[in-house]
Amino acid sequence: MRSATSYAVRQRAYRALLYILMLLGCAIMLLPFFWMLTTSLKTEMGTMRVPPQWIPPQLHWENYATAWNMAPFGWYFFNSFFVSITSTIGEVITTILAAYAFAKLRFFGKNIIFTILLGTLMIPGEMLLIPNYVTLTRLGWLDSYEALIIPWVVSVFGIFLLRQFFRSIPDELWDAARIDGCSRGRYLWRVIVPLSKPAILTVALFKFLGSWNAFQWVLLMTNSESMRTIPVGLMVFSSDIGTAYHLLMAASVMAIIPILVLFFFTQKQFIQGIARTGIK
Amino acid sequence: MLRKVFVGLLALVVLGTAALAANEPVTIDFWHAMSSGHQPNLQALVDAFTAEYPYITVTLTYQGSYSSLQGKINAAVAAGNLPTLAQVYENWVTPIQSILYPIGPYMTMMEVNDIIDGLIPSNTYNGVLTTVPFNKSIMVLYYNTDLIPNPPTTWAEFYDIAKMLTVDLDNDGTIDRYGTALRPAANPEQLLVFLDQAGGSILNADWTEVTINNAEGMAAIQYCGSLIPYTYVTSEYISDHMGQVAMFIDTSAGYNYNKKGAENLQAPYTPYQLGVAMLPAGPVTQGSMIQGTNLAVFNVPNQTQAQKDAAVLLARFLLRAENTVFWAMKSGYQPVTKSAYELQAWKDFVAANPYQQAMSAQMLLGFSQILHPNYGDMRTILSTKFDEIMRSAVSPLDGLNQMAEEIEPLLTE
């Protein structure tokens, strides 16, 4: 009896310690968001105080209006949504098709082509910026939605991730479907895709996040305000000699809201997809 | 008589055609890195320009930070779609000077001579004034007026004050306030200031020899080395550490940030009024480094002659005394022509803003970076080694010799 009690106490202590550690981890993760939120409500001078002022004595909600009016953020939001959504849809479609081919079809040179594709992941994106810029210039796509969307509707990482997932689906399903007279295309869209929802959602989320946060590409490929997205728009608050942190943070809070909403609604699938495909 | 009439008529036709051609609508692209605070003022200048030249349309394109602008220019060079003109640092365009459209030949002698002397060499390529200065700042001395009633005027005074004001206020064995601060990794131009004031330079006049480790260079680096115990070394802006530093050398463009930093200190630090003075004089000069960008017009196939002519007109317009003064008053940069400093509007502005007095005086003693095509790489070496020296990772003289050794191959590359 006594040993059972001591076991229960030990379990509780262990649990308490676990929760404390998790809360600590949570606090560390949330701290930058908290700083962003409080800084967005400070005065410019308040942001420069040393040591930092965690809770401002007065909340300056007007920072949000000021930040919003300093640049055409309405346009930036529209562009961010439009570019992120269209490139996500495009990538999901191309990725499903390519991943299915690499996972389930037999064709000459499959493994070599897949290895070459994986090899391209080793090339730093920065190295390709200027060659891509030259290509898009020659295509006459600079400063257009084509430049922001089309080069990003294919992702080798997404193909790899989905291929791994598709490979885990037993081939017996295809045999059964074939006996029932199902075509390859129908099997893909009616069987494979529904079974792979978590992985597909993970690919879509990665894409949406990457596209929403894209900075260097958008900056390089666009010139007019009407083509730029939120991350590029945030630059208006920084200069070579300093940054208006209160306004930058106000604009950043506005910029991350869609991402937070998206994550809250899809976090279950997101975690499942990551866990099942073994990608960290 | 008939011949004279004919020649006169011909001249009229030619001039008339030229005038008509000149009035053809033309649009020029101006890439810049002036963020939101400066954009309305730049736009105001462009509006004034287009009011004077109604046939010219200027498309101002903000390309983000300086490094973003540089990346964009590099990409545009490769793709052959450069804008008509852009803000550029000297070392961005030295490797591509063959595609710069010289502005100087289209300026009057009076306009050229009006540019501050220290700004001419850094805009002159192969003896031709090619680019023109635009947003320029100068390194000055910022100081805590409560601690330093009279700012230092010589190296010796600077050293003495730095030493005296470096203190461990709570006796815990850690220095709480340093006499001065340097940002060697981020701002190696501070070393170039000491070097110039000692009479030294990175290279000799014709760039055939590295001179940074000659006697003058050694004097400069030994002086920097003597300041190590009294120097707060950081890569961050000093405006974020105003309580920890009594005086420091920084760009005039950072005045507002430094001022706010000083006036908003919280316990354990005491807010103070920020003072601005000319740099203390070295053994040879009281020079200071001018920083900031110039304007370059690009001579590339995608820009027509009419566009290049219009861009030259804009560059000349921005150099006018009243315009460079307007820009300086609104932006915090310094006027770039001599006549601007004589303008009543500027004098009134300086009278109302006394800190500007030191900046203006220092600007007229300014020097600019050298136009060597490999200056960018040299700067990287300077910042790395200067940082190692100031963090005591290497002795000042060894660090200086290492700088010279690493710069040497860049002369012939």
| Chain A residues touching residue B36 (CB < 8 angstroms) | 70-71, 236-237
By the CB < 8 Å criterion, does A240 face chain B?
A: yes
Residue B87: beta bridge partners?
B295
Using the beta-carbon criterion (under 8 Å), do B71 and A51 form an inter-chain contact? Answer: no
Place of tokens 């967005």: A40
Q: Is the ipTM of this complex over 0.85?
A: no
Of B74, B251, B261, the CB nearest to A48: B261
* Residues B208, B213, B214: CA angle, nearest 5 degrees: 80
Q: What is the token pair recorded at A39?
A: 């800084």
Of A130, A235, A244, the CB nearest to B74: A130
Q: What is the token pair recorded at B316?
A: 């000349």
Terminal alpha carbon distance of chain A: 44
CB B145 within 8 A of CB B275: yes
- Predicted confidence at residue A275, as pLDDT, reads 66
Cα–Cα nearest to A157, from A114, A103, A214: A114
| Chain A residues touching residue B268 (CB < 8 angstroms) | none
Using the beta-carbon criterion (under 8 Å), do B257 and A71 form an inter-chain contact? Answer: no
E-strand ranges in chain A read 238-239, 242-243
Q: Are strands B26-32 and B85-88 parallel, antiparallel or unpaired?
A: parallel
B141 φ, ψ (degrees, to nearest 5): -100, 125
Cα–Cα nearest to B167, from B242, B223, B244: B244
CB A239 within 8 A of CB B35: yes
Shortest distance, CA A49 to any CA of chain B (angstroms): 6
Q: List, as ranges, residues 142-181 from A with C-beta within 8 Å of B.
A: 142
| Chain B residues touching residue A220 (CB < 8 angstroms) | 71-72, 75
- Predicted confidence at residue B294, as pLDDT, reads 96
Best mutation site among B35, B241, B250 for testing chain A: the one with the most A CBs within 10 Å?
B35
CB B31 within 8 A of CB B83: yes
Question: Distance between CA A249 and CA A64 in Å, rounded?
Answer: 9
Give pLDDT tens digits for A32-66: 999 999 999 988 777 777 667 788 888 899 999 99
Phi-psi region of A120 (alpha: psi -120 to 50; beta: other; left: phi over 0): alpha
Q: Which segments in chain A show pLDDT lower than 50?
A: 279-280
Q: What burial class does residue B39 get, using C-beta atoms within 10 Å of its C-beta: 0-12 exposed, 13-18 middle, 19+ buried?
A: middle
- Predicted confidence at residue B2, as pLDDT, reads 45
The residue type at B195? L
Question: Distance between CA B386 and CA B212 in Å, rounded?
Answer: 12
Q: How many Cα atoms within 13 Å fall on the side-chain side of residue B118?
A: 23
Contacts (Cβ under 8 Å, ≥6 apart) of A268: none
Give chain B's radius of gyration (CA, Å).
24
Question: Distance between CA A14 and CA B113 in Å, rounded?
Answer: 80
Shortest distance, CA A52 to any CA of chain B (angstroms): 9
Q: Are strands B56-62 and B26-32 parallel, antiparallel or unpaired?
A: parallel
Q: Which run of H or E residues covers position B309?
A: helix B305-319
Using the beta-carbon criterion (under 8 Å), do B65 and A238 form an inter-chain contact? Answer: yes
Question: Distance between CA B260 and CA B272 in Å, rounded?
Answer: 10
- Predicted confidence at residue A238, as pLDDT, reads 77
CA distances, A3 to each of A8, A12, A132 (Å) = 9, 14, 69
The number of angstroms, rounded, from the C-alpha of B358 to the middle of its chain's C-alpha atoms is: 16
By the CB < 8 Å criterion, does A66 face chain B?
A: no
pLDDT (tens place) for every residue of chain B, 413 residues total? 445 544 444 444 444 444 445 578 999 999 999 877 788 899 999 999 999 999 999 999 988 888 889 989 998 998 888 999 999 999 888 888 899 999 999 999 999 999 999 899 999 998 999 999 999 999 999 999 999 999 999 999 999 999 999 999 888 888 999 999 999 998 999 999 999 999 999 999 889 999 999 999 999 999 999 999 999 999 888 888 899 999 999 999 889 889 988 988 877 888 999 999 999 999 999 999 999 999 999 999 989 999 999 999 999 999 999 999 999 999 889 999 999 999 999 999 999 998 999 999 999 899 988 888 888 899 999 999 999 999 999 999 999 999 999 999 999 87
Give pLDDT tens digits for B66-114: 888 998 999 899 888 899 999 999 988 888 889 999 999 999 999 999 9
Query: What is the DSSP secondary structure assignment for residue B280, as one 8-state letter?
Result: P
CB B248 within 8 A of CB B180: yes
Contacts (Cβ under 8 Å, ≥6 apart) of B225: B389, B395, B396
- Predicted confidence at residue B131, as pLDDT, reads 96
Q: Indicate the SS3 state at residue A228.
A: coil
Q: Indicate the SS3 state at residue B140.
A: strand
**Residue of chain A nearest B254, judged by CA positions:** A241
Q: Is the dihedral of CA A19, A25, A30, A34 positive or negative?
A: positive
Q: Tell me: cis bond preceding A151? Omega within 30 of 0 counts.
A: no
Residue B233: beta bridge partners?
B182
CB B93 within 8 A of CB B85: no
Q: What burial class does residue B342 get, using C-beta atoms within 10 Å of its C-beta: 0-12 exposed, 13-18 middle, 19+ buried?
A: exposed
The number of angstroms, rounded, from the C-alpha of A211 to the middle of its chain's C-alpha atoms is: 7
Contacts (Cβ under 8 Å, ≥6 apart) of B315: B85, B103, B132, B295, B297
Best mutation site among A48, A63, A217, A243 for testing chain B: the one with the most B CBs within 10 Å?
A48
Question: Distance between CA A270 and CA A264 in Å, rounded?
Answer: 10
CA distances, B277 to each of B119, B220, B258, B281 (Å) = 21, 21, 14, 11
Using the beta-carbon criterion (under 8 Å), do B264 and A45 form an inter-chain contact? Answer: yes
| Chain A residues touching residue B65 (CB < 8 angstroms) | 235, 238-240
Place of tokens 């191309």: A94
Shortest distance, CA A207 to any CA of chain B (angstroms): 24
By the CB < 8 Å criterion, does B66 face chain A?
A: yes
Question: Distance between CA A44 and CA B35 in Å, rounded?
Answer: 16
Question: Distance between CA A16 and CA B238 in Å, rounded?
Answer: 44
By the CB < 8 Å criterion, does A49 face chain B?
A: yes
Phi-psi region of A140 (alpha: psi -120 to 50; beta: other; left: phi over 0): left
Shortest distance, CA A211 to any CA of chain B (angstroms): 19
Contacts (Cβ under 8 Å, ≥6 apart) of A248: A67, A234, A237, A238
Place of tokens 């095509």: B373
Shortest distance, CA B256 to any CA of chain A (angstroms): 9
The residue type at B194? F
By the CB < 8 Å criterion, does A51 face chain B?
A: yes
Q: What is the token pair recorded at B68?
A: 């973003």
Query: What is the DSSP secondary structure assignment for residue B264, as one 8-state letter?
Result: T
CB B155 within 8 A of CB B283: yes
| Chain B residues touching residue A45 (CB < 8 angstroms) | 260, 263-264
CA distances, B178 to each of B181, B232, B402 (Å) = 7, 6, 28
By the CB < 8 Å criterion, does A237 face chain B?
A: yes
- Predicted confidence at residue B14, as pLDDT, reads 46
By the CB < 8 Å criterion, does A127 face chain B?
A: no
